[in-house]
Chain A
């Protein structure tokens, strides 16, 4: 490899030829002999790119020692791999630690510490051990032993010997500029390495301080590939990875306070040591001002670039590799280049080091970057080549790039282009704060009782729903508290709830709710936007570069920088997604997971197959633009939903297999492989991917597929099935060459999105690094015929920057990097005046006619093809709605009529059959059989309805200017579709519907209403003129109750009621009964009862009257007046039954027994009036009086009662008027009576 690079650098081989050599598998005939020489090295070809990347990283070590390293996952040489491709030897999450696969072990010095290291790290060499060493850096923030052993993190430029030496050049490695900060190379203890080891003071490994919001939520996330968090393999891996996700806190993780303290100390130590920045403080996180801000940047001068030509050459080769998609991750390389651009200063190398190497002629032995000037020059060179990609970045990034003074110095031309691109860009990426949670609304269609097997299941679901939201709310309240733990707080409740979901049907109901809520909370572009990674909205991004200077001081005070995942964050569940992840974990229910997978798969298939509208060419008027916005939005929504669903599907599907590390031995692995290859995939993603590629819908399919695969366990990529999927993806990746923009090709941003997500996927730890650098033959073997004539979604510009950044928030790291440079650099440009030039989207291609079955269908398809997509949507929408409305209309008219008819039939039956009839069920059968035939009318009526309604709706929804022919066609199609929909439903369901409606209406009302209420209901309601000012019934009951309680006693001597108050009360009662607005049946019942009791008290003269101390009694006239009022209330105002017989209950009559002298005349008067007013029948009164005799009374009272009875019988009510007159003349008649 080195030989190839060397020959390039010596200009033995032209760059162009070399690139061709790299990119193409077969040498072409016109290649020069030199290239022919290269082709002899063909087997090495695939190793060239990893070699180049590693070389560059290596070279940059001294420039970016303290800075964030750029991770990359490049495989070791193939020789290091076991026979099976893709078998274990991978790992090396930690950034550059992995980047020297081709090199021989550096020195024995390097081995010593490695061997000392606990854990799985073995010494190098192809021994019989379980394969090559595996560095799992980046998993979890810092292993416990790191802090104590004083090692620098592996990513800080560690060179890690791979298992077997590869045919690289050892010379190269040895001559590398020593990386003083790398403690693997220069361990504190061990053989003194050549060079200034004495100067190397081991820096203390500082564990990251988790301050980001995400972290405090639950557990710190593991970054597999990202530089920020690296971790030397723990000696207790099982403890480290308590969860299958490896998300557990390392057991040795210190408390925050401790960490902070250490960090503070380390910082002060560093300050004392300066200006010797050899011991970089390894920090996590992407570059942020707080770190770099402290260092003033070395000025970069184009004039001081050491070897322009060499740098130009390497830049060209490097750029070509990027352009040809030969690097796994485009954005990672850009990130690296920007790091070089913004490097602050070079690690000082001693002259002796350089001097020792100077003599050598080998170009590879001379450091590529000898100064900051070299780095910046190189970066500017590469950026020039990558201008096209840069120009598609968001406006903020463009601005920062265009304002970068180093670029201005080194490449004014590029700066000018960037500036122009910035001014022309409309790609504003907004950061939206997610809205608070909204519940899934009740869905009457699915959530109703009829969909449950039993009342109990229905009730359980009812409760589940509430428990679910209760849990969700609690999570919302507490998940940001550091002390709160999901499992501890909610785990048992969730499991209890799961335990109740016994029936399978209940599970599916709950899963539906769960999935809907998931989509609702996490899918909307807004909520996914700003906090895709679940962090607090990035302060850097929000403030922009301008205010960063001011922010700097503040930031420096912060102990730990804002942590974001870096350019290659591991898959995470940010924000609300965390809730759903934790819920699944806590529920740990097999049933639930299975139902969830079923449901997710179904939804994914459904959304993936959604016929997304195609962009029609040439139509650039405003109207179609409006449509276009909608289409793009629709695409974004579908895409984001799919990604979310696929992520969770992947999570759940691979959950059982997910472990912190791959199987330790080959044997074990083989047996697992054999087993797993028998298990069918949860979702046939290969077929879906193939379809997607074939239908040119990769832009929709691939992003969600990547989400799904990002959760794959270590075994998955080794399975033939998934391996073929990866190969397909790899092939796709290679084919997405950005510079090719042919007619019908995929749009630039679409490609960029795919490159970004695929690049991200290739960095996922479970994806073997060697996979990317597969043999071309293997890749080519999976050539898919995408050259279909049809234009698919891929060629439609559906992706915009907002969507790109939403899906790939890590691209934003570029901007952060640049922003941190601005904040750190003293002389920053002032920026330039904003000038926004709107751009228009360009349309591509023409729509070829689509072939389909059936002439009519074909015609309809063709019709739609040449119309704006909104027309099709409108027609389908109208048809769908009208069809549905038609059914509703028929329900409301025809079915309602039939129900009415059923009523009359029922009445007929009742009349004709009288009391002797059969079973009610038979009656219903009879009714239904009589009504059934009328159901046939439904179809006719349905057809009429659709015919009448659809055209009008279509006309209303389509633009006025729609040509008449188009309009009428659209109308006809809508009518047809609507009729089809309505009639097919009606013919299937009408009979059952009629039956159900008849039955349901009857049962519903019966359940809701008792017989009394039914009888009363007819008379309800007050007069139209009523203004409802009557006193409230509750108030009246309360007042009457007070009177009753006064009468019943005990009472204070001064308590009593005035006769006026009583009269007023009865008047109010009358008003209230007449108004009825606020009168409920219960209240009326109680009022009736109370009024009867009041009458009894009046008759017995038991109401304490306010007034002069002697009186205390109601005079007879007043009592009668009140009784008259009551009688009229009973007669006219009460609509419900009044329990008048209570007047003659032993208890109420007994009230009279205690009064001395007893006065019976009021009672007699009342009874007569009752009979006369027809409130009670004569016989009824007699019966009551008769029953009174049965009770036990004092003897004299019994006699008086008998007399009253006789008197009542003796004087027929016809004589009432005279009697009344007579009574008025003889006020003491009752007493007389009693004495007689």
Chain B
């Protein structure tokens, strides 16, 4: 779904000050029936995040927080079952999940002497039943499940979407017989288990064990969002500092452009995010590995695909026109175009 800048702006225009709720999404889908839902949702989410970034500060002044908290208390004082917090968020044009966080933080500050740690807050947001106040727990929960742009559930969905598309891309590469850096080998897992067993049985603390291994505790916190060993980890282990999702062991040509790596982005490529990615990731990859391909699975603004000659190619799907290098016994190196029909494996 590649949109022109004009098309994109038409959509973005409709999203100004729309609350991030189920209902808003439904309306959006009705307004743009021809666009894919995923693309619309992605654009909506990005636009909303831009909006929140712009207005974030004004909701976090001590006065604003106090004001919200009092309004919350008044609201639940009247009727604890009413969607007080959600309506407050919608009224002041702020994300419900973030509003829930503000109120929760304020609530905890009122009940405890020390300000609550970030992880405590996060855990409570993830599992509101840990919130000591039943009414607040319900209010927070309601905010989180009704927010389609922020909150732990949305984060998880986004993460899952990203992961799924990486897997999808990996399968497509495998089908094309393109070799890239592989995930961790089983051997390493076994060793890891041994290590963990060692740690479990030993009396050493987590930190001292890590320092013994020469690693800092940063990056390894036994969180619920534990990662699996991936290509990226392997490359990092080799010393690579920044790595794209897939580094091709043998470069290929896509639409006439040589690519060395592929990055999967399960989002819509708008100007803002694309520039951030270019700066933070794509050029860094180019600087290290040469030209590459970015797949924005949910589409992008056509005008952004302007760095092809420079070595950043944008696509909204897996490319069909892939030319690989192959060795011919007679003519040395020749190029062969991969047919689109499925190959015999």
Measured CB to CB, the residues of A under 8 A from B are 436, 438-439, 441-442, 444, 447-450, 458, 462, 465-466, 468-470, 473, 896, 899-900, 903, 906-907, 910, 914-917, 919-921, 924, 999-1014, 1017-1018, 1020, 1028, 1032-1034, 1037-1038, 1041-1042, 1044-1046, 1048-1050, 1052, 1077-1078, 1080-1083, 1085-1086, 1089-1090, 1139, 1142, 1145-1148, 1150, 1154, 1191-1192
Contact = CB atoms under 8 A, between A and B. Distances in A.
Interface in B256-304: 279, 283-284, 286-290
B138 A1147 contact: yes
B189 to A, nearest CB: 6
A883 B212 CA distance: 34
B343 interface: no
A1192 B132 CA distance: 11
B181 interface: no
Given A444-B240, A1014-B192, A1148-B129, 20 more contacts: A444-B238, A468-B287, A906-B198, A910-B202, A919-B212, A920-B208, A1000-B237, A1003-B215, A1007-B215, A1007-B220, A1007-B233, A1008-B228, A1034-B160, A1050-B83, A1050-B86, A1078-B163, A1082-B163, A1083-B163, A1147-B141, A1192-B134
Contacts of A915: 201-203
Contact of B222 (A447, A1010, A1090): A1010
Nearest to B170: A1077
Contacts, number: 234
A1142 B123 CA distance: 14
Contact of B160 (A441, A450, A1017, A1080): A1080
Interface residues of B, number: 83
A1081 B189 CA distance: 16
Contacts of A1017: 189, 228
Interface stretch (B51-59, B106-114, B151-159, B324-332): B151-159
B157 A1049 contact: no
B226 interface: yes
Contact of A444 (B239, B283, B309): B239
A466 B287 contact: yes
A919 B213 CA distance: 12
B145 to A, nearest CB: 4
Given A439-B287, A469-B283, A1083-B159, A1077 B226 contact: no
A320 B42 CA distance: 81
A1006 B189 CA distance: 10
A1086 B238 CA distance: 33
B212 A441 contact: no
Q: 8 tightest CB-CB pairs across the interface, nearest first?
A: A448-B239, A1010-B226, A1013-B226, A1145-B129, A442-B288, A1003-B213, A1034-B160, A1083-B160
8 contacts: A439-B287, A441-B290, A896-B187, A899-B191, A907-B194, A1005-B189, A1041-B145, A1146-B134
Contact of B201 (A910, A1002, A1006, A1009): A910
Contacts of A896: 187
Contacts of B159: 1080, 1082-1083
With a 10 A CB-CB cut-off, give which of A999, A1083, A1139 has the most chain B CB atoms: A1083
A1002 B213 contact: yes
A920 B202 CA distance: 9
Interface of B: 22-23, 81, 83, 86, 127-129, 131, 134, 137-138, 141-142, 145-146, 152-153, 156-161, 163-164, 167-168, 171, 184, 187-198, 200-204, 208-210, 212-215, 219-230, 233, 237-242, 279, 283-284, 286-290, 309-310
Contact of A1147 (B129, B188, B189, B238): B129
Contacts of B223: 1010
A223 B210 CA distance: 64
A1012 B191 contact: no
Nearest to A459: B241
Nearest to B233: A1008
B152 to A, nearest CB: 8
A896 B157 CA distance: 39
Given A920-B212, A1009-B229, A1011-B196, A1028 B145 contact: no
Contacts of A458: 241
With a 10 A CB-CB cut-off, give which of A896, A1045, A1085 has the most chain B CB atoms: A1045
Contacts of A1090: 153
B250 to A, nearest CB: 14
Contacts of B141: 1048, 1147
B190 to A, nearest CB: 7
Contacts of A903: 190-191, 194
A1006 B163 contact: no
B195 A1002 contact: yes
Nearest to B137: A1147
A635 B192 CA distance: 51
A1049 B22 CA distance: 11
Given A1010-B220, A1082-B160, A1154-B81, A1147 B128 contact: yes
With a 10 A CB-CB cut-off, give which of A919, A1034, A1042, A1052 has the most chain B CB atoms: A1034
Contact of A1041 (B153, B197, B201): B153
A591 to B, nearest CB: 22
A1003 B236 CA distance: 12
A1049 B23 CA distance: 12
B313 to A, nearest CB: 14
Contacts of B189: 1005, 1014, 1017-1018
Nearest to A1042: B22
Contacts of B194: 903, 906-907
A1037 B156 contact: yes
Nearest to B247: A442
A897 to B, nearest CB: 11
Contacts of A1008: 184, 220, 227-230, 233
A496 to B, nearest CB: 16
A468 B137 CA distance: 50
Contacts of B239: 444, 447-450
B226 A1009 contact: yes
A473 B156 contact: no
Contacts of A1007: 215, 219-220, 233
With a 10 A CB-CB cut-off, give which of B161, B167, B210, B213 has the most chain A CB atoms: B213
A439 B190 CA distance: 38
Contact of B157 (A1001, A1037, A1046, A1145): A1037
A1081 B222 CA distance: 13
B288 A1037 contact: no
Contacts of A1006: 192, 195-196, 210, 213, 215, 220
Contact of B191 (A442, A450, A1005): A1005
With a 10 A CB-CB cut-off, give which of B197, B229, B290 has the most chain A CB atoms: B229
A627 to B, nearest CB: 16
Contact of B288 (A439, A919, A1028, A1049): A439
Contacts of A1020: 228
Contacts of A924: 212
A1086 B229 contact: no
Contacts of A441: 288-290
A425 to B, nearest CB: 29
Nearest to A470: B283
B280 to A, nearest CB: 9
B225 A1081 contact: yes
A1014 B189 CA distance: 7
Contacts of A1001: 188, 191
A1045 B163 contact: no
A461 to B, nearest CB: 8
Contacts of A1145: 129
Given A903-B190, A1014-B196, A1038 B157 contact: yes
Contacts of A1192: 134
A201 B286 CA distance: 61
A1034 B157 contact: yes
Given A441-B289, A1002-B213, A1081-B228, A910 B197 contact: yes
Contact of A439 (B209, B210, B290): B290
A330 to B, nearest CB: 42
